[in-house]
Each structure stands twice: as structure tokens, then as C-alpha cells.
Amino acid sequence: MENTLESLTRIKKRLHEASYKLTPQRETTVLVLLENEKDHLSAEEIYMLAKLKAPDIGLATVYRTLEMLTELKILDKISFTDGLARYDMRKEGAKHFHHHLLCLECGDIEEIEDDLLGEVEQVVEQRFQFKVTDHRLTFHGVCSKCQHAK
């Protein structure tokens, strides 16, 4: 797995290629995302953590940065059962958004890196003449910890 500095360098390059600069506020937002990559944070949670690093950062700046990173496909914006938009770093070179396991008991979210839907995409494209550009899949259920706690 990439370390934070390598990821930051890669993101800075992507921003530069898209004619954006990595301002100190954007860098703070990206660092919060990288440091909490497994947590699927909401914009407000990202803002609160960014504020600890840069007390002068504004919520609007965080929102604009998240939207820009989403448009550039550096981030994916996702929603689970709580209705909040949450943000997830897209893996470098990933053809598709990765999948998730969502525990309905404790709320834990686990990532599945394998692309499980290649054949399904082919069927959709052939049967419906629909060009698939991405897909998202979340399995809802009960994690092993919660199963064993009963």
C-alpha cells in the first residue's frame, strides 16, 4: 500500500495535470483523507479533523475540495444507510469503484478490492446495449464480530 507522502505526490500531480494547485487548505483536506482512508468520513468529519491541523480552514473550502477531488476521480462519493455523503479514496489504477460490506448491527464498513462484477457488466452491455463506465456494490448484513457476539 502506498504511503501518505507517495499518495500526496500522486494527487498533487493529478491536480496539476487538471490545472489545479494543491493549496495548503487542499493539502490539509487530502492529508485528512489519506490518514483516515478506511473510515469513510463525511464532509463534516473531514472538516473537523482538518480544523485540528489548520484552524483557519473553512467548511466551504473543504466541500469545494471534496467536489473537485470527486470530479477528478481521486475520491468517490458514497452513501450508506445513514444518508450522509461519505468520501472514499479511489485506488490508483482502479478501473472501478471498490465494493463494501456494511454491518447493519455495528455499522462497520469493510472494503472488497476484488472486482466481482466483470461478467455482470458484460451481460448488461450485451443484453441492454448499455456501456458500463463504473459500478458500486454494497453488501448489507452482519459482520463476523457481531455474529459471534450473539
pLDDT value of position 2: 58
pLDDT at 76 over 70: yes
Question: Which among 9, 127, 123 is positioned nearest to 74, based on CA atoms?
Answer: 9
5's grid cell: 507522502
Q: What is the mean predicted confidence (pLDDT) over 122-144?
A: 86
3's grid cell: 504511503
Q: What is the mean predicted confidence (pLDDT) over 95-103?
A: 72
Lowest mean pLDDT among 18-22, 36-40, 64-68, 142-146: 36-40
Entry pTM:
0.72
Judging by beta carbons within 10 Å of its beta carbon (0-12, 13-18, 19+), is residue 149 exposed, middle or buried? exposed
pLDDT value of position 92: 63
Q: How far apart are CA 29 and CA 51, in angstroms?
A: 9
Classify strands 109-112 and 99-103 as parallel, antiparallel or unpaired: antiparallel
Lowest mean pLDDT among 20-34, 60-74, 108-122: 108-122
pLDDT value of position 80: 75
pLDDT value of position 55: 96
User: DSSP class of residue 74?
Assistant: S
